[in-house]
Amino acid sequence: MPVRVAFLWHMHQPNYRDPQGGDAVLPWTRLHALKDYLGMVEAATTAAARVTFNLVPSLVDQLEAYAEGRLRDALQDVCDRPAAELTEPERRLAPRGLFLANRQNLIGRFPRLEELLERRGPEVDEASLHHALQRFDTAEFRDLQVLARLCWFDRGWLESDPELGRLAGRGRDFTEADQRAVAAREAALLAAVLPAYRKAAEAGQVELCTSPYYHPILPLICDTEAHHEAAPGAPLPRRFARPEDAADQLLRARRRHQAVFGRAPDGLWPPEGSLSEAAATEIARAGFSWTASDEAVLARSAGRPLHRDSRGTVHPLEVLYRPWVRHTAAGPLTIAFRDRALSDLIGFSYSGLDPSLAAVDLLERFRRIGEHWAGAGLAGDPSVFVILDGENCWEHYRDGGRDFLRTLYTGLAEDPALEAVTVSQALAGAGEPAPLPRVFAGSWIHASFDVWIGHPDDRRAWDLLGRAREALDRHGPAVPVTEREAAWEAYRVACGSDWCWWYGDDHSSADDLEFDRLFRRYLRTVYQKLKQPVPEVLYETLITARRHEVRHSAPTGAVQPTLDGEISAPAEWVLAGVFHVPVAAGAMRRGDEVVQCVRFGTDGDLFHLLIETARPAREALRAGDLAVRFPGPRTLRYRVSGDGAPVRREERSGNFWAPLPTQARACAGRVVEVAIPLAELRSGPGAIEFRVALLSGEVEIARQPETGPLRLDPAALSRA
């Protein structure tokens, strides 16, 4: 009797699109498309292996938009622009953002790229990057632009595509024509991804399933009280219970999948393998016949403890290696449960081994399950479900995972004791599924939801999500349909799991602030589309688990500039404090990138401020006004426009800004210079704290610094 092996490769990226600018804030969808998405389906079809791919709609949308040229990211723009024409922000972004690839297995394939990384150096703080820029000439920037793209390309394309092979073979001294050539091949690959999956599914070789549209944790959307089933007594946010929103994400996903791939999906992978009684009911009600989760959720649901023998096989065999069915109030739902150890071997362990030997080891583990099954005299065939991310692990394999998959799929096809099947085939061929007495509320991470709701930062995020949802109920009916739907769409995106994945102290990345910023920007969009005041908390980072310092220098003496919108002489601002706006690896052309540098100081009577913008300030201010905000018992802001209008001084009063008299002055030329009487700012001897914000009408688009105010301390005031 063959062991039926069902792989489910989970393909997911959150919605990286900026809700205001529309471009992708982070490049990971495009980069994984180059390296993983097309290569994974081609590996399966080439080997005639039957597998299942889970394509989350938020990923599908972005893949389609990239392919059609409707979506771009900043690193893509940096790679496209002639090296001699790179702007200063792009030059600052390039040495940080173009070395995102795995050093050993991606960068290391190209000696010239490795050489350029050595030239940049290991440090990526602003000062180090500033010095690194001086070490790159135009030719080196151009080589970096080309190689930073080439290193991400699927190895099969690099080997078979003549143009890519030519560029990879040369390895250096690229031209602008080469830049255009690699951009064209990137566009071709992006355009090929979704059609390849549809073609493979239509041929019956692979099965495609979906997930709720924006990848929310379904049990928590249904009711955050579900967390108490896995963690009794744990702190919770204010109760959030919106099963109708879970249903909305499920139905929208089903319709989108059918529109793209030609048929409605049978199965649904719940984000992070998260299930509960309420979630299972909504999945069944939405028309899905099967779903899946983790072995730990099965053990808690069935009340059947699982254990592994010395060679890793799970016992009792008949508990894990078979499908189950939960008879929900909305109908039956078949559930597959993954073998966690086998799945994690691919995701975390095999990358350090010889790829072929790793595949042989996994095949032997499958055979061992069959031998135990036959030895126990169990009826039917065992079904082994291997479920994991299909994108994140492969850069850690020295072969990009392709030799591993080739050996694995070939071994499955050639061994009569093994059979590769889709999830639906595994479920259909396993006989009558066993009835599940309940669905325990848990995920594939420790059968709990701690990652998404267990930290105070997570719970603050849930509270803010709940407040935005209440605003939709309260104010949505009063706004036009287009505005209302835009508010709802922003809310749906904010329900995604990825935002809370990065809050707290359990996970961290170089992009934490980008994820935090995106979450808050989507919630701000809800209020903006509803024509309601945006809660002030949504302009402040929610991250408390890790300190993100505002790095700036303090003034070293009196600052006495000429107020003319120009840096008339270098000495004008040489003693000022300085804050350089960091350029994140994925930063886009957002409003907050208008501000590049802030210089500040005092002459004892006036607070002086200089704001450098990405382009001449008189042009930058056509997009909106700059406001200098001073928090405190009296929150003040000084608003500067580019039309020569007087500076406006305003005080926060509830949700509005009340005008106040002022003697402040400003001038916008190449830069913005502002002079504010200290008497208007200080009511005592304390420090002056401030930020710079960009306004569009009454809507605050962004503020800098994001993680905290700049500070002019009493010592600096006394020195002046």
Query: pLDDT tens across 370-389, in order?
Result: 999 999 999 989 999 999 99
Percentage above 90 pLDDT, the chain: 75
Whole-number average pLDDT of the chain: 92
Residue spans of beta strands (DSSP E) within 193-323: 206-209, 267-268, 290-294, 307-308, 314-315
* Per-residue pLDDT at 50: 98
Q: Which residue has the tokens 């709802």?
A: 488
Question: If pLDDT is split at 50, 70 and 90, which confidence band does 685 have?
Answer: low
Rounded mean pLDDT of 569-574? 84
pLDDT of the residue at 390 = 96
How many other CB atoms are found less than 10 A from the CB of residue 493?
A: 26
Higher-pLDDT residue of 708 and 38 is 38
DSSP strand pairing (3-11 vs 383-389) = parallel
| pLDDT of residue 656 exceeding 50 | yes
More confident residue, 308 or 615: 308
Question: Could you tell me where the DSSP H helices lie in 444-557?
Answer: 450-453, 456-475, 481-494, 498-502, 512-529
pLDDT at 588 over 70: no
Q: Which residues are registered as beta bridge partners of 364?
A: none
- b (16+ CB within 10 A) / e for 534-563: bbeebbebbbebeebeeeeebbeeebbbee
Pick the closest to residue 439 from 215, 278, 307 (CA basis).
Answer: 278
Domains of the chain: 3-10+204-229+240-435 (3.20.110.10), 64-201 (no CATH), 454-539 (1.20.1430), 570-719 (2.60.40)
pLDDT computed for residue 589 by the predictor: 41
Query: What confidence tier does 591 reach under pLDDT thresholds 50, 70, 90?
Result: very low
Would you place residue 634 in the very low, low, confident or very high pLDDT band (cuts 50, 70, 90)? confident
pLDDT at 640 over 60: yes
Q: What per-residue confidence (pLDDT) applies to 652?
A: 85
Contacts of 566 (CB under 8 A, 6+ apart): 669, 670, 671
SS (HEC) of 132-182:
HHCCCCHHHHHHHHHHHHHCCCCHHHHHHCHHHHHHHHHCCCCCHHHHHHH
Closest C-alpha among 315, 319, 312, 409 to residue 355: 409
Could you report the per-residue pLDDT of 441-475, keeping only the tens digit for each?
Answer: 999 999 999 999 999 999 999 999 999 999 999 99
Structure tokens at 627: 């406001």
pLDDT of 693 higher than 80: yes
Q: How confident is the model at residue 214 (pLDDT cuts 50, 70, 90)?
A: very high
Give the Cα separation of 113 and 110 in Å (integer): 5
Q: pLDDT grade, residue 593 (50/70/90)?
A: low
What is the rounded CA–CA span in Å between residue 510 and residue 472?
A: 33
Q: Is the pLDDT of residue 98 over 60?
A: yes
Looking at the chain, the whole-number percentage of residues with pLDDT higher than 70 is 96
Alpha carbon of residue 541 to chain centroid: 16
CA distance 538 to 530: 15
pLDDT at 20 (0 to 100) = 83
Q: pLDDT value at position 176?
A: 97
Q: Distances in Å between the alpha carbon of 440 and those of 210, 230, 265, 443, 698?
A: 22, 8, 25, 9, 47
- Element housing 387 (H / E): strand 383-389
pLDDT per residue as tens digits for the range 504-521? 988 888 889 999 999 999
Identify which has the larger pLDDT, 209 or 545.
209
Distance CA 596, CA 613 (A): 5
Residue 677 half-sphere exposure toward CB, CA atoms < 13 A: 9
For residue 291, pLDDT beyond 70: yes
The residue-averaged pLDDT of 199-220 equals: 98
Q: For the whole model, what pTM was predicted?
A: 0.91
